[in-house]
Amino acid sequence: MTVREDNETDTPRSALLAGARSVAPFLAGTIPFGMVTGIATKAAGLSAEAAIAMTLMVFAGTAQISALPLLTAGAPVLVILLTAFIVNLRFVIYSATVAPYFKHLPFRWRLLLGYFVTDTGFAMFMRRIQDKPDWALRHWFFLGGGMILAVVWCLSAVLGVLAGTQVPPAWRLEFAATLGILALVAPVVRSRGEFAAALVGGGVALAASPMPMKLGLVLGAVAGIVSGALVDHFAKRHA
Amino acid sequence: MSIGGWYLWLVVAGMALVTIVNRATLIVFAGRFNLPPIVQNSLRYAPAAALAAIAVPELFITNGAIDVSIHNAKLIAGMVSFGVALVWRSTILAIVGGMLVLHALEWLLK
């Protein structure tokens, strides 16, 4: 990371732009992921209008891709929402981590920043705040990163939905959503605890799949989280 | 096949709400309450657990039954795709590779 001159980031506008610049290299990942989400949403059987509305309103690719097989299977609304909640629990961690930096701001600002909590925006904000812990314009930096990610995400997903309308069902693109979920598992199984969480989560969900209303999924997720935490606990004790 | 009607809109509105609650609650109420460390620590495992819980049954179950055999093209394609994601860390490569394996296997096993 290059160290920028202070005078470059001392107005709200320049702080906003600095935030946008910080996330720019990661747009190379946002664009294809947005397009895959759009294509998969269309392939799951939604109309183009509904698929676009879903993407713009939910603004969370992982949750949306996770919901698609459940929507296709006609799972109960509560199970789908619970799944989205669990998949997005990482946002709670991000939110808890950045909250102390924004607690002096008015309510409207905090609500706005809350909407723009993203994986990349969070990572870049934490990197920058370590260099400048007392930076008064840090909320503009966070907003700039979040906004550019949101705009690019939505445009890519809309493009994906439109591309998806051209694809014949024989291509089996709905399976791309399942592969997309798997590809998201890969980078989050780096530690022993995370590996245990995925293994137990998947295993329990499979064993419990005859349960009604896709409840096996929720059971698997909870069992996985508990296993991850336990493995982590015992690994620390024996270290 | 098409999904629509009140069911879809309820899901979309609910997911939008659930996501904003996850994202914003702790920022909006900053300083008024904090998560206990044990909860924060456990939340780290939520993505791995939940994502695997969604994907694994999708791979193994064909026509309502668990199918662990060479004839389950989804399972093999999924395993190859996951391997690609682990080794090359590319989402796009993993998805495209998995789809190619799926179609190749279904063509071969036909």
Give the largest CA-CA distance in chain B. Answer: 61
DSSP code string of A9-56: GSSHHHHHHHHHHHHGGGHHHHHHHHHHHHHHHHHTTB-HHHHHHHHH
The residue of chain B with its CA nearest to that of A176 is B95
**Residue range(s) defining the domain that contains residue B82:** 45-109
Per-residue pLDDT for A1 more than 50? Answer: no
Are residue B91 and residue B66 in the same domain, yes or no? yes
> Do residues A106 and A79 make contact, with C-beta atoms less than 8 angstroms apart?
no
Radius of gyration over alpha carbons of chain B, in Å?
Answer: 20
Q: Tell me: the pLDDT tens digits for B14-62?
A: 999 999 999 999 999 877 777 788 887 787 888 889 889 989 999 999 8
Between chains, do A178 and B55 touch, taking CB under 8 Å as contact? yes
Domain ranges of chain A: 6-173, 189-239
pLDDT exceeds cutoff 50 at B86: yes
Would you say residue A7 has pLDDT above 70? no
- A198 and B48 in contact by Cβ < 8 A? yes
Q: Is residue B39 part of a domain?
A: no
Query: Which residues of chain B make contact with A84, given a CB cutoff of 8 A?
Result: 14-15, 18-19
- Cβ of A202 within 8 Å of Cβ of B94? The answer is no
B40 in any annotated domain = no
This prediction's pTM:
0.77
**A56 contacts in B (CB within 8 Å)?**
none
Same domain, residue pair B30 and B50: no
- Residue in A178, A199, A215, A233 to test binding to B, most B beta-carbons within 10 Å: A178
Which of A143, A151, A176, A154 is CA-nearest to residue A44?
Answer: A176
Residue A187 clears pLDDT 50, i.e. is over it: yes
The dihedral built from the CA positions of residue A134, A140, A144 and A145, taken in this order, carries a sign that is positive
Mutate to test the interface with B, among A185, A190, A233 (most CBs of B within 10 A): A185
Strand locations in B1-110, DSSP E? 61-62, 65-66
Of A44, A90, A183, the CB nearest to B46: A90
Burial of A30 (0-12, 13-18, 19+ CB in 10 A): buried
Q: How far is CA B46 from the centre of its chain?
A: 12
